[in-house]
Structures are given as C-alpha cells and as structure tokens.
Amino acid sequence: MLGVLPVVLAMLMVGQQSVSDAPAAQQGLPSSPAPQGLPSSPAPQGLKGLISSVAPGQGTSADSNGDSTSVSSTSPATPVQAGTQPAGQAASGSTGSSIARPSYDQAPPEVPAAGQGPAFTMRTGVNFVEVPVTVEDKHGQLVAGLTYRDFKVYENNVRQQLRFFTVDPFPLSVAFVIDQSVKQDTMSRINDSLAALQGAFAPYDSVAIFTYNNGPVLRTAFTAAEGARVPATIAALKTQGREMGVPVNDGPMATPGIIVNNQDFDRNQTMHPATAGGHLTIPKEVHALNDAILEAAELTAGQPKGRRRIVYVIGDGKEAGSKASYKEVVRYLQTHKIAVYGTLVGDSATWGIGFLDRFHLPFFLQENILPKYAAATGGQFASEYHRNGIEESFAKITEEVRNQYTLGYNSHEPMLDGKFRKIEVQVTRPGLTVLAKDGYYPSAQDAQ
C-alpha cells in the first residue's frame, strides 16, 4: 500500500504539468495578462480597507486586468434601445416602483408592408380594436402623408398604445339602401343617377341592394360590384315614388275613385263618420329607414374580416313607422364594425327644409337621422339635390373610404362586459378634422 502511493503522486504531478504547459488557445481560456508591478503602498486588508478604497458615490468594477477599480455613479449609462427596459430596472422616472409606464412614442406599432395591410392579422389574445379614420383639412379635402406618430387614440378617456397602423385601402362590402318613399320628382333623379353607381367600385368590391318604402326589400344579396347582376337589379327596381299632391274631392277636376257603399273611398284619405260634412284625416306616412338599415346591417355583418363593412343610404333620411328603434340599430352597427354613409336627396338636401327638420315641428316627420347614423359609426354623407351631384357623390364617398387610416390597439377594458366604450381620435397637427366612430360594443369577434 505504501509502495503504490508514490507512484500515484508522480502521475498526478505529470498530468498537472502537461495541462499548465499547454497553450492557452488549446485550453479554451483567455490569455493571461502580462505581469504588472505591485503598488507602492500595500493594499488595504479586511472590510475597513475595502471601504477606505472606495470614494463616496462610487462603486467597484473589474477592469481588463481583473483588478477592482472605482466607477463613478454619475458616469453616463450604456445606451438602451428605444422601447426597451433593462432587466430588473424600473421605468425611468419611477422612485422605488417596479411598474413600467407605457411609452407611446418609443413603441412603434405593427406597420405592414405596402399592400399587406388588409391581409395582416393581429394575434393578441385580447380585445383588439380596429378604428378606420378619415382626416380632412378645413376645405374638406383628404389629408395624406400622416404617420402613426400624428395620432392619439383614447378609449373611455384613457390613451391607448397603437399596435397596428396602415394606410392601405381595404376591399369594400357595401349594402345599398335606396329610399322609394320620396316624392316622384326626387325618385326620378335617383333612378337616373343609379347608372353611375357601379363605376365607383373596384373588381374586388362586393355590393348588395335593398329598397324600402313601407318596409325593406332585399333586391340582391352580395355580388361582385362590377358583375352583370348589379345593373340588371338597378333596372328592375326603378319605381315612380310617392305622389304627394293634394287630392281634389269636388269640382270639375274631382275624381270619384273607388265607390264603397255608394260613397267615394280613397286609400289616401278617410272621412270621419261622425261629421256630416266630412272630416279629412291625413294618413300616417311610413318611412321605415331604421328597419331598412338594420336588415342591411344583418346581411353585411356576415361579410369576412379584412373588408370595410358599409351601409350606404340614398334617400331623404326621414324615419317614421319602423319596428326597430334608432338606438337598437346603432348598437348593432357599432358591435359589428359597420359604418353608415349616404347621399341625402329631396327636401333634406334643400337648406331651408332640411334645417327645419331638426326642430320636430308639429305634424311633421322625425328629423333627418342619416347624419346621426354617420356620426355614430364613423361614416360620412353628402347632400345633393341634382342628378349630377348624386352621381358624383358615389365616387366621392368611396374615395374617402379607400383613403382612410386604419389604427389598431388592445383595449384595456374587460373583453366581453357588454358595455359601450367611447373612442376619441386626435391628430397632433393643427387645423385638421378627424372622422371616426364614436365608440363600439365588444363582441367575441374582436378577441383574436
């Protein structure tokens, strides 16, 4: 046993010598620095010596030789890339708090390449909100060239950090709603202008057509905007409109109409039976605009994601006799991301009469509610009286839709609480007007 011990010790000494004699590059270790001279004074020993070697406000760090050197706390920090935060370090400006506040200017949103915006999908696992925005100058002209830095978005008065931004045009799914309860002369102008409707769309757009008088009627479901079905449907739906003249009941111009029980009977008037001389009762008119917009919205809501969903109304904007209420229809539109655009015609396009409609004059229909629909959903409307203006409005409004900015953010509110969220979009540049929806109701479709 004692004879084996010297042999083992000799082998260990030989192995250690061979490792230490190998070049540093072969061992995978850094080359050792050249020997340095010792300081003139002996290094301090113990804790007291360590404290005495560090000046107030300084720490220690290892230099290139592995020795401990003092570092001033006021020396400039290592630059950090914008939008990042060093690990274990609180946000700038915080005192003892580890909560990092969002920096809206340093965290750019997702900006897809040109032409990829409509096909881009945000997968967030939270409630993602998409906000189409139209920006105009003081002359009503569209403003181009803005970036995400020019926008501020607030939800329920809390600023949101943008996660998505694009200027690419989206394909359109437009449900046209044509008012056939207008007067005959107005209906004639609408019929003549509908021939220009198809020219406002691109091959990748789709169109559905509704009409309404006493109630909505689907003329064609969504089809290619430039297909043959659109002009055929337009040609078939033309009508004369309502005759709004005063009936003549006596004299040489009187028309007996329908005789019932040896008495004149006209479907546009009734005679009060308790009055010997007869009492004229004007029948209540029906303009089922709410019902027509709701039915068009229900069809439009089934269009795929990645398309602009629009209900486009051509009429005088008056409402009377619908089963659905305005609030009910607006909630459906805001839940399914549908905007209402329109062209006002007839009396509503005439300054005097359209203006007086706002005051609910006795014995008159409700106000023109089309502007209210447009404002609540982020849409727009034109007011045109003549045929040429109606035709030009189709192309003008579709141009506005194609030149919108699309902003996206992750809502800080609960995903599906059913409560209305108010949205406000601001532009940092002065003198510009922003058109965007007032808000939205969350739905399961928003959770991606």
Residue 89 lies in a domain: no
Range 158-166 average pLDDT: 94
Same-domain status, 196 and 207? yes
Domain count for the chain: 2
| Closest alpha carbon to 298 in 325, 335, 326, 323 | 335
Compare 382 and 407 and report the one with higher pLDDT.
Answer: 407
- Condensed to tens digits (0 to 9), the pLDDT of residues 309-321 reads 999 999 999 999 8
Looking at 26-35, 115-124, 212-221, 345-354, which range is the least confident one? 26-35
Residue 37 lies in a domain: no
Same-domain status, 152 and 190? no
Same-domain status, 289 and 201? yes
Looking at 13-27, 217-231, 290-304, 306-320, which range is the least confident one? 13-27
- What pLDDT is stored for residue 41 in this prediction? 44
Range 295-324 average pLDDT: 94
The tokens describing 446, both together, are 């928003």
Residue 146 lies in a domain: yes
Residue 222 lies in a domain: yes
Question: Cα-Cα-Cα-Cα dihedral of 153, 155, 157, 159, to 10°?
Answer: -40
- What pLDDT is stored for residue 80 in this prediction? 38
Backbone angles phi, psi at 198, to 5 degrees: -65, -30
Using the predicted structure, report yes or no on whether residue 46 has a pLDDT greater than 90: no
Same-domain status, 341 and 443? no
Residue 182 lies in a domain: yes
Using the predicted structure, report yes or no on whether residue 87 has a pLDDT greater than 90: no
- What pLDDT is stored for residue 200 in this prediction? 92
Residue 148 lies in a domain: yes
- Kindly indicate the confidence band of residue 367, based on its pLDDT and cuts at 50, 70 and 90: low
> Is the Cβ–Cβ distance between 312 and 174 less than 8 Å?
yes
Same-domain status, 178 and 315? yes
Residue 260 lies in a domain: no
Range 358-383 average pLDDT: 74
Three-state secondary structure call for residue 375 = helix
What is the residue range of 368's domain? 172-241+285-402
Using the predicted structure, report yes or no on whether residue 176 has a pLDDT greater than 90: yes
- Condensed to tens digits (0 to 9), the pLDDT of residues 236-258 reads 999 888 775 544 444 544 444 44
Same-domain status, 199 and 126? no
The tokens describing 338, both together, are 């549908």
Sign of CA dihedral 198, 200, 201, 203: positive
Using the predicted structure, report yes or no on whether residue 94 has a pLDDT greater than 80: no
Same-domain status, 397 and 408? no
Same-domain status, 441 and 301? no
Range 261-285 average pLDDT: 51
Same-domain status, 304 and 415? no
Residue 49 lies in a domain: no
Q: What percentage of residues in the chain have a pLDDT greater than 90?
A: 45
CATH number at residue 322: 3.40.50.410
Same-domain status, 349 and 448? no
CA distance 109 to 91: 20
Same-domain status, 295 and 352? yes
Same-domain status, 231 and 329? yes
The tokens describing 22, both together, are 């190998």
- Kindly indicate the confidence band of residue 416, based on its pLDDT and cuts at 50, 70 and 90: confident
- Kindly indicate the confidence band of residue 334, based on its pLDDT and cuts at 50, 70 and 90: very high
